[in-house]
A and B are shown apart, each in its own frame.
Chain A
Amino acid sequence: MKYQSQAVAKPYFIAAIGLFVGQIVFGLIMGLQYVVGDFLFPAIPFNVARMVHTNLLIVWLLFGFMGAAYYLIPEESERELYSPKLAMLMFWIFLIAGALTILGYLFVPYAKLAEMTGNDLLATMGREFLEQPLPTKVGIVIVALAMLFNLSMTVLRGRKTAINLVMLLGLWGLAIFFLFSFYNPANLVKDKFYWWWVVHLWVEGVWELIMGAMLAFVLIKVTGVDREVIEKWLYVIIAMALITGLIGMGHHYYWIGTPSYWQWWGSVFSALEPIPFFMMTLFAFNMVNRRRREHPNKAAVLWALGTGVMAFLGAGVWGFLHTLAPVNFYTHGSQITAAHGHMAFYGAYVMVVITMISYTMPLMRGRAANSKTAQVVEMWSFWLMTVAMVFITLFLTAAGVLQIWLQRIAAEPMGFMAAQDQVALFYWMREISGLVFFVGLVLYITSFFIKGKEAPAG
């Protein structure tokens, strides 16, 4: 760690991992509710568990991105963070707001929560992933703006590199597109249309910039490959991400009351969306193969390679699987979407945040890398979580194909619940894979507490 202020990243990462655990616990609850329908009812109905599961994911990834930004921007800018105090203040505000929101979901009926938090003044709640009460949404904007001010001041006064500019651009985009969450017209089609300006333009747009910058930063550090080469890759990857992803948003506009020309725009451009992800795979492997040093942190290198591969599989391949309009006509709103969502989020965003944590945490704890033993445990956690996620995805895909066949294609189509009963076996297998994932997560956390002979600080 070159600058003292980079250490503000540490609480962000710790909070991220803590919320990650919560996310998985609620994922396991939902997974069980899929087969044991009345599990924990009425204490935690499925919709509440799902809200907690997805919102925790979003919040912990945001913690991860922010932590990553506070770490890499000072280092790239070659100066201390503009205001570490502001960064810490924002950490506490975000953590408390996040915790209160989750507690609100769990302990206050949603309609009551909406009433209490001013949803009648400006209705923004009750839309998938944007369920947060108004004060939380405003809080997210404040925290994001304070962070952007802090980081922008740091970059303005320091060295400007492709990595810190792309990271900053991604974070600005994140904040700007989130503003669409405040727009909720009564017209359902318009509501859905602009809802995607948050959701799609985040995960298939500006988040890819953030991901690319984080991956490029770690690859420079662990491989020692020339910055010029890495930054050139970064620009090409994010260029492809936005060139394909912006109009690729059309793949969400097939069946929601929008003009049918979106079937063409969406199919053609989103079919190209795997390209930037495939380039990320090539990028990670190429840079590691051309490495000029053997970095002692093998675990971080493994996560970097892993995110390249899994992002391509989850976002690229599983996205392509159902992105063409004639295919999507049958798959839309089925378990196929759930399968894709799981592997894409894990492969692209979970793994890149863990890559960053894996690389920076030892440095913030005063060593170049963790002990061999700790790294071996961390690598076991990598394989357990990653393989478990592959199986979760495969089982959900199987469930989805069967569901579509039974409910939408068969000569005598079944009703929704009848079809669900038929695919229960795959939901059970998904739940077992989820438990394996959880074991991997426990091992991951354990790895932080394993001592042993450590590589000295570099």
Chain B
Amino acid sequence: MSSAFTKSAARNIFYGGSVFFFLLLVGLTYDTMHTLPKHDNSANLTESVKRGKHIWETRNCIGCHTLLGEGAYFAPELGNVYIRRGPDFIKAWIKAQPTGAPGRRQMPNFNLSEEQLDDLVSFLKYASEINTSKWPPNIEG
């Protein structure tokens, strides 16, 4: 780099640029938080959904599955599983694990009670109703 461009000029660009863009990020975040209720389905955030999220977290579901595309890529996307499979299938599937089919990927059995299964299903229903700008591209996730 040419000597006309000094180290202190570079330093000032760093500090100025970082502060400016961090403030811009904070501004966009502020706006996002205000408009979020239009997209985030928070109107349907019931107690059951909250308990379901807690079950989702404490069974480390994200360690194999994706949810709205984030997580591990070992098992199917579950953001839209409520639409793809419906509540009864989801509960039956979870109860039937592991399949024990030789050589196939296995999901542990988490010994969830009927209430816990219902909570988990409400959480997945709530997740499926979040406005994700039409992602995923099709029902397969």
Partner-B contacts on A (CB < 8 A): 30, 33-34, 36-38, 41-42, 45-48, 50-51, 110-111, 114-115, 119, 123, 125-128, 131, 162, 184, 186-190, 192-193, 228-229, 231-233, 235-236, 238-239, 242-243, 246-247, 249-250, 253-260, 262-263, 265, 329-330, 332-335, 337-338, 407-409, 413-417, 419-420
6 extra interface residue pairs, beta carbon distance < 8 Å, beyond A257-B130, A333-B71, A413-B139: A37-B103, A50-B74, A126-B60, A243-B21, A258-B32, A258-B36
The smallest beta-carbon distance between A138 and chain B, in angstroms, is 18
Report if B113 contacts A (CB, 8 A). Answer: no
- CA–CA, A162 to B103, complex, Å? 55
- Mark each residue of chain B from 97 to 140: 1 if its CB lies under 8 Å from any CB of chain A, else 0: 01011111111101000000000000000110011110111111
A210 to chain B, nearest CB (A): 15
CB contact between A190 and one of B36, B107, B140 (< 8 Å): that residue = B36
Select which of A37, A186, A258, A419 is within 8 A of B104 by beta carbon.
Answer: A37
Residues of B contacting A119 in the complex (Cβ-Cβ under 8 angstroms): 58
B66, closest chain A residue (CB)? A333
Q: Contacting B140 at CB < 8 Å: which of A33, A338, A413?
A: A413
Which of A228, A236, A415, A417 has the most CB atoms of chain B within a 10 A radius of its CB? A236
Is the pair A407, B140 in contact by a Cβ cutoff of 8 Å?
A: yes
Residue in B53, B69, B72 whose beta carbon sits within 8 Å of that of A50 in the complex: B72
Q: How far is the CB of A271 from chain B (nearest CB, A)?
A: 15
A232: which of B5, B68, B131 is its contact (CB, 8 Å)?
B5
| A37-B105, A189-B36 known; A127+B62 contact, CB < 8 A | yes
Complex CA distance for A335 and B56, rounded to whole angstroms: 23
Q: How far is the CB of B27 from chain A (nearest CB, A)?
A: 10
**Which residue from A111, A258, A259, A335 sits with its C-beta under 8 Å from B59?**
A111
Is B83 interfacial (CB-CB < 8 Å)? no
B92 close to A (CB within 8 Å)? no
Measured between beta carbons, the chain B residues less than 8 angstroms from A41 are: 98, 106
Closest residue on chain A to residue B72 by CB atoms: A50
Say which residue of B25, B130, B132 sits within 8 Å of A246 (CB atoms). B25
Query: CB-CB < 8 A to B138: which residues of A?
Result: 408, 413
CB distance from B138 to the nearest CB of A (A): 5
Cα A262 to Cα B131 in complex, Å, equals 14
Q: List 20 A-B contacts (CB under 8 A).
A: A37-B105, A38-B103, A41-B98, A42-B108, A47-B64, A111-B59, A125-B57, A126-B58, A126-B61, A126-B62, A188-B127, A189-B41, A190-B36, A231-B7, A232-B5, A235-B11, A235-B13, A333-B71, A333-B73, A334-B73
B36 adjacent to A249 (CB under 8 Å): no
Which residue of chain B has the shortest Cβ distance to A42 in the bound complex? B108
From residue B116, how far is it (CB to closest CB) to chain A in Å? 10
Query: Which residues in A have their C-beta under 8 angstroms from that of B108?
Result: 42, 45, 47
Q: Which residues of B lie under 8 Å from residue A131 when comparing CB positions?
A: 60, 63
The 3 tightest CB contacts between A and B, nearest first, are A47-B63, A126-B57, A333-B69
B140:A125 contact, CB within 8 angstroms = no
Q: Residues of A contacting B11 with CB < 8 Å?
A: 162, 235
Residues of A within 8 A of B32 (CB): 193, 253, 258-259, 262
The CA of A258 and the CA of B110, in the complex, are separated in Å by 32
Asked if A232 contacts B7 (CB within 8 A), the reply is yes
CB proximity to A under 8 Å, residues B1-55: 1, 5-7, 10-11, 13-14, 17-18, 21-22, 24-25, 28-29, 31-33, 35-36, 38-42, 45, 49-50, 53-54
Q: Which residue of B lies closest to A258 (CB)?
A: B32
CB neighbours (8 Å) of B127 from chain A are: 188
| A243 x B17 contact (CB < 8 A) | yes
Determine the distance from Cα of A111 to Cα of B14 in the docked complex, in whole angstroms. 44
B75 sits at the interface (CB 8 A): yes
Question: Is B63's CB under 8 angstroms from A51's CB?
Answer: yes
Residues on A with C-beta less than 8 A from B69 are: 255-256, 332-333
Which B residue's beta carbon lies closest to that of A337?
B73
Q: How far is the CB of A336 from chain B (nearest CB, A)?
A: 9
Min CB–CB distance B32 → chain A (angstroms): 6
Contacts of A413 in B (CB 8 A): 138-140
Chain A residues whose C-beta falls within 8 Å of the C-beta of B67 in the assembled complex: 188
**A46 CA to B75 CA in the complex, in Å?**
10
Given A33-B74, A123-B54, A46 contacting B7 (CB threshold 8 A): no
